Amino acid sequence: MDRSAYSRQESMLNLVPRYFIVLSLTLSPIISISSQDKNAETGIDYRVVMSTSEINLDGRLEEKAWQDATLINLQYEYLPGDNVEPPVGTEFLVTFDEKYLYLAFRCYDPEPSKIRAHLMDRDATGTFIQDDHVVVLVDFFNDERRAFQFRVNPLGVQSDAIYSELDGTEDFSWDAIWNSKARITGTGWTAEIAIPFNQVRFPSGDAEQTWGISAERSYPRSVRHRIASHRRERDISTLLSQINKVTGFSGIKTGINMEIDPTITLNRTDQRVDFPDGDIRKGKLKTDPGLSVRWGITPNMILNATVNPDFSHVEADVRQLEVNTRYVVRYPEKRPFFLEGADYYRTPVEAVFTRTVTDPDAGIKFTGKMGRNAIGIFNTHDRVNNLLIPSNAGSLSASLDQNIFGGVFRYRRDVGRGSALGVIYTGRAGESYSNHVGGIDGYFRISDSKTISVNYLRSMTDYPDQFALEYSQEEERFTGGALSASFNHQSRKWGYNLLYQDLSPSFRADFGYIPRTDFRTTTLGLLRNFWGKEGGWFNLITVGGYGGGTYDYDWNRTDDNIHAYASFSFPLQTTFSAIGALKQEAYLGTIYNLQQAMVTLETKPAGGLRLYMMTHFGDMVDYSNPRLAWHMILNPAAEIALGKHINMNIQHRYMKMAYMGNEIFTANLSQLNLVYNFSVRSFVRAIIQYQDIHKEPGMYISPVTEESKTLFTQLLFSYKINPQSVLFIGYSDNSLGYTDVNLLQTDKTFFVKLGYAWLL
C-alpha cells in the first residue's frame, strides 16, 4: 500500500459537516437583522481635507497644514471616569496627502515636570504603557472589525499593533514602517505621526472614503486616566462601533507599493564536546543571506514572498519553569513573515500556530480584503517537522527529520454588522506523513453586549509506521473532530459566559497549538463590577466566579473546578486580586481533590516603576510520582526605569513541592533584562536567565538528577532605522551544571545581522 501523502486525493468537503453549514446559513440573516437594530453610532462625524502645505516632521506643529487640519478634541475620560470631562485638554489633528496619513496631538499638562517619558525599544509594551502616550486606531475599511493601532510617547518611542474586534485582541507583534516625532514643551507635549499608505490596507478605487478613527491619550498619575475622542459606553462591548467616522479621504496613491528586505546574518558557534571533560572547539563562520519581498498588488491585497528567510529572532524568549507540567508550553511568534495578517488566521480552536514552522527555506503568503470578503493563503517548505502529540493526560513534543510542505487557506465573510463567517484549511505533508485540517467558524454579535462564537474542525492524519509505534499512535490513517462554542455577555455591571469544547482523541492540528485532546468540557462564568466614584478609595471592584466539568470520550470525569475571585483597583495604579479554587483532577486513573489559592498584587506608584507579586499555593498532583502533594509558587517582579535611558526588568519564580512534609523538589528561575537606550533607535541590552532545580531522589519512583543548573546570557547592540532596517551585533552562551559538576559553559555564539528595507 502506497502511504505517500502526495498520492491521496481526499476532498476537504468531507471534513466539514453539512449540518454545520446549514446552521451557519440559518443564523446569518438572523444575526444580520439583530446587528442592524443597534443604537445609533456614538462616534461624531468629521470631514478631512488634503494637506495645504508640506509637513516637516519635527513635533512642532507650526506648518499651515496643521492650522487647516481637521480638529478633534479628546473630551471624554472613559477610565476611571465614565465619559466624564478629562482632567487635561488634548487636541487631535488629521490631514493627508497622496502618500501619507498625517496625525498630530497637542497634549496640555498643568505640570509638565511630571510627564512620564522614557527611552526604550519600540513595542516594549510593558514599559511603554506606564508612560504618558497617545494612541490612534484607524479602521480603514470602516467595517468595525479590524483596526491598525499606532502609539507614541513624549520622546517619540513607537508602538504599533493590529486590533481585532472579533476576538478582542491587540497583536503588538505586527510592525509597520512609519515616522513620528514628539517634544515636551512648557505647556505639555506634542506629537506628529506620518503613516505611509503603502504600510496599511484600505479599499481600492478613486471614490471618497470614510474611515473609523479613534484618538486616545493615556495620562498616568495617581491613576491612569484614559481619555478618548468619542464616548465609550460600558454597556457596549465593542470598541470600533463607537469610534469617530472621518470622511473625505481621496486621491491616495501608493506607487509601486513594494518593499524589498534583504538580510544577511553571520554567526559562529563554539561548542564543548564530550561534556563535561572536553574542550570548547571553535566553530565555523556561517553566512546566511536571505531576501523577503512585500508587494501591495492593490491597497487591499498584499503578496509576501521569501527565499532563505531570516526566520531567527534576536529577542530571547522569556523562560518558563517546566517542572511538574503535563502539557507542552507555548512561546509567542516573533518572526516578521508570519506576522503579516496573522489575525486573519485566528480561530477559537487554535488551528494555526506558526512557530510549528521551524526552519523553512522558502515561503509565500497572500492576504487581502475585497468588500466583505477577507482571504489569507500561505505556503512554506520546512526542513524539520516538529509535532505535538496530545492526549487527555498530557502532551509530548516530537520531531521528524524530513522536509515538509505546508499550507494554510483562510476565508472570512463579514455578515451583518459586527458578525463574520469563515472557513479554514491547513495541511502538512512529507514522506509517509500528512495532516489535513478543515473547518468552519462563526462570530455572531447579537446585541451591543452579547456575542456567540462557534468553531468546528475536522482532521485527517497519517504518521510513518515507526513514528506511530514509538509514540503509541494509530498506524493507519485516522480522523478526528474539534468543536468550540461560546456565549458571552459583557456590560457595565455584569458579565457572564458559557463555553463548551469537544476535542476527540484522534484530532490533530499539526499546524496549530493543541496540547490536549480526548475531552468534553463545559465552563460557566459570572462577574459583577462595582465602579468607584471620582476621588473615592477605589476605582473598580470585580467579584465573580467560574467553574465547570470535563469528561474524556469514554465519559469518565477527568476535571471539576469551582473558582471564586475578587479584584480591587485602587489609586497609585494598584491592583489586588485573590482567587480560591476547589478542584477534582483525574490522573492515571486516580481522582485527586485539590484546594488552591492565588493572590496577586501589582502597583505603579511612580513613573518608570512597576512592582508585581504573585503567590499560588495549595494541593497539586505530583505527575512524576502520582500522588497528592502540596506546592507553593512565588513570583516577584519589578520594572524599573533609572532616568530616561536605563530600563531594568527583574523577575524570579520559586516553586516548591512536598509530600507529607518531605520536600520533593525546589526550583528557582531568575531573569534579568537590563537595557541602556542611547536614543529612540539604538540600545545595548544584557539578558541573564538562571535556573536551579533540586530534587530529592528518595522521593521519586524513578531515578532523577539531584541537582541541575542552567545559565543563559546574551549581550546585544541594536540599531534600528525602522523594524526592517536593522543592525544587530551580539554574543550569547549557555552553561550547564548538575550533581557533582559545577556550572560549565557548553557553547557560545557570536552573531551579526544586517537588514535593510527598500520601499518602492
Whether 133 shows a pLDDT value over 80: the answer reads: yes
Whether 339 shows a pLDDT value over 90: the answer reads: no
| 453 and 491 both lie in a single domain | yes
| 197 and 179 both lie in a single domain | yes
**What span, in angstroms and rounded, lies between the C-alpha atoms of 86 and 582?**
43
21-41, pLDDT tens digit by residue?
333 333 444 343 333 333 334
Beta-carbon count within 10 A of 602 CB: 16
In a domain, 737, yes or no: no
Last residue of a domain, one of 216, 249, 282: 249
pTM: 0.86
| 225 and 212 both lie in a single domain | yes
* Peptide bond just before 276 cis, omega within 30 deg: yes
Whether 560 shows a pLDDT value over 60: the answer reads: yes
**What span, in angstroms and rounded, lies between the C-alpha atoms of 26 and 454?**
14
350-371, pLDDT tens digit by residue?
999 988 888 888 899 999 888 8
In a domain, 423, yes or no: yes
Last residue of a domain, one of 517, 535, 564: 517
| 43 and 5 both lie in a single domain | no
**What span, in angstroms and rounded, lies between the C-alpha atoms of 458 and 439?**
6
| Residue type (1 letter), 136 | V
| 483 and 346 both lie in a single domain | yes
**What span, in angstroms and rounded, lies between the C-alpha atoms of 414 and 416?**
7
Q: CB of 189 within 8 A of CB of 201?
A: no
CA angle 692, 698, 702 (to 5 degrees): 85
pLDDT of residue 22: 36
Cα torsion 139, 140, 146, 151 to 10°: value is -60
In a domain, 354, yes or no: yes
Q: What is the mean pLDDT of the chain?
A: 90
Whether 160 shows a pLDDT value over 80: the answer reads: yes
CA angle 363, 756, 102 (to 5 degrees): 100
pLDDT confidence of 344, banded at 50, 70, 90? confident
| 85 and 4 both lie in a single domain | no
Range of the domain at 155: 38-249
In a domain, 274, yes or no: no
In a domain, 549, yes or no: no
| 124 and 139 both lie in a single domain | yes
Per DSSP, what are the bridge partners of residue 332?
none
In a domain, 609, yes or no: no
448-478, pLDDT tens digit by residue?
999 999 999 999 999 999 999 999 999 999 9
Closest alpha carbon to 242 in 129, 405, 83: 83
Cβ within 8 Å of residue 18, ≥6 positions away: none
CA angle 533, 539, 543 (to 5 degrees): 115
pLDDT of residue 312: 52
Closest alpha carbon to 588 in 553, 554, 618, 624: 624
Q: What is the mean pLDDT of residues 583-599?
A: 95
The larger pLDDT score, comparing residue 277 to residue 70, is at 70
In a domain, 255, yes or no: no
* Total of domains in the chain: 2
pLDDT confidence of 418, banded at 50, 70, 90? confident
| 383 and 349 both lie in a single domain | yes
Whether 316 shows a pLDDT value over 50: the answer reads: yes
| 423 and 376 both lie in a single domain | yes
Q: Which ranges of 175-240 would DSSP assign to H, the alpha helix?
A: none
Output 62-71 pairs: Cβ under 8 A, ≥24 positions apart.
65/95, 65/102, 66/93, 66/95, 66/104, 68/95, 69/93, 69/94, 69/95, 69/102, 69/104, 70/46, 70/94, 70/95, 70/246
Whether 521 shows a pLDDT value over 70: the answer reads: yes
| 20 and 160 both lie in a single domain | no
pLDDT confidence of 168, banded at 50, 70, 90? confident
Which of 39-48, 68-77, 628-637, 687-696 has the weakest average pLDDT?
A: 39-48
In a domain, 530, yes or no: no
| 500 and 397 both lie in a single domain | yes
- Domain at 158, CATH number: 2.60.40.1190
pLDDT of residue 585: 95
630-672, pLDDT tens digit by residue?
999 999 999 999 999 999 999 999 999 999 999 999 999 999 9
Last residue of a domain, one of 494, 517, 540: 517
| 79 and 211 both lie in a single domain | yes
pLDDT of residue 16: 37
